[in-house]
């Protein structure tokens, strides 16, 4: 699932394929299964947070965008969102999971031709999900929090607010609220794709997350100085915090 480190500077990249599908559910809501499903349906590439291990240099850009949107006194009007997304995601025909989900309204506006999918599955409110929220600086503003305790209190309410925001900014004809477990038919009908002759994929996201942590940790340790400069200490905290929780 995780290719080698590409070491690509996305600031120099542009869009090479059309963005067709924005799957903007939060982590641990079947997003990894949807990534595989989109691949089966013929979309390439499909962005998912688990695949950021193949190009760690992207994280500094995501963090800069998060600071622009979620800082205490944000000024997102200074950001050319389409240009930034085309650099980060220009090779992708579909996206799912975070960090893109943190920028749902901006993505929906930037790509008016893309269809929007939100998976309907109660988020898994386990220590892994909470540690990710606590340690990832992108999440602080998303959860209307300035510290760990506020984030813990606001997590569930902000989660539902995320989906309400998507519903409010997406025209009904562009939106599918996809219930996990309903199979290929509703998804294929919405996307105009034939139903594949194989079962709908089911990815063990906890196992995939463990693999991602192991690979990312090895790559960070192999080139520790580069990781500190490019990715930043906050990302390292995410990796090692999650590793600790998964081990215990």
Structure confidence at residue 7 (pLDDT): 76
CA distance 36 to 59: 23
Structure confidence at residue 140 (pLDDT): 56
Q: Global pTM?
A: 0.77
| CATH pick for 10-247 out of 3.40.50.620, 3.40.50.300, 3.30.1370.60, 3.30.1340.10 | 3.40.50.300
CA distance 103 to 63: 12
Domain ranges of the chain: 10-247
Treating both helix axes as pointing N-terminal to C-terminal, what angle do 81-89 and 58-70 enclose, rounded to 10 degrees?
Answer: 150
CA distance 23 to 228: 31
Kindly list the distances between the CA atom of residue 8 and the CA atoms of 1, 87, 187, 216, in Å, as whole numbers in the listed order: 18, 11, 32, 16
Which of these, 157, 187, 246, 174, lies nearest to 35 by C-alpha position?
187
Structure confidence at residue 198 (pLDDT): 96
Mean pLDDT by 10 residues, the chain (248 residues): 66 95 89 94 91 77 84 72 96 93 95 96 52 49 64 75 94 96 96 97 66 50 44 43 43
* Cβ-based neighbours of 130, under 8 Å, separated by 6 or more: 152, 155
178 strand-pairing partners: 119
Strands of 175-179's sheet, edge to edge? 46-47, 94-95, 21-23, 115-120, 175-179
Structure confidence at residue 75 (pLDDT): 67
């Amino acid at each position: 699932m995780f290719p080698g480190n590409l070491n690509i500077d996305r600031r120099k990249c542009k869009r090479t394929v059309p963005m067709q599908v924005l799957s903007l559910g939060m982590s641990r809501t079947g997003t990894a299964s949807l990534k595989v499903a989109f691949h089966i349906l013929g979309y390439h590439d499909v962005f998912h947070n688990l695949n950021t291990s193949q190009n760690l240099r992207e994280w500094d850009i995501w963090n800069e965008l998060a600071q622009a949107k979620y800082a205490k006194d944000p000024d997102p009007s200074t950001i050319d969102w389409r240009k930034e997304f085309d650099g980060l995601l220009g090779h992708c025909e579909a996206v799912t999971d975070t960090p893109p989900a943190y920028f749902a309204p901006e993505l929906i506006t930037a790509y008016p031709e893309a269809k929007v999918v939100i998976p309907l599955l109660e988020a898994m409110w386990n220590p892994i999900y909470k540690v990710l929220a606590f340690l990832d600086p992108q999440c602080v503003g998303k959860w209307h929090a300035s510290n760990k305790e506020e984030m813990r209190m606001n997590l569930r309410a902000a989660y539902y607010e995320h989906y309400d925001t998507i519903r409010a900014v997406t025209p009904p004809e562009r939106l599918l609220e996809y219930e996990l477990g309903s199979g290929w038919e509703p998804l294929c009908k919405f996307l105009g794709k034939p139903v594949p002759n194989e079962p709908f994929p089911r990815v063990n996201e906890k196992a995939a997350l463990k693999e991602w942590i192991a690979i990312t940790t090895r790559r960070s340790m192999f080139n520790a100085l580069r990781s500190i400069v490019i990715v930043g200490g906050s990302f390292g905290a995410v990796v090692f915090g999650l590793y600790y929780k998964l081990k215990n």
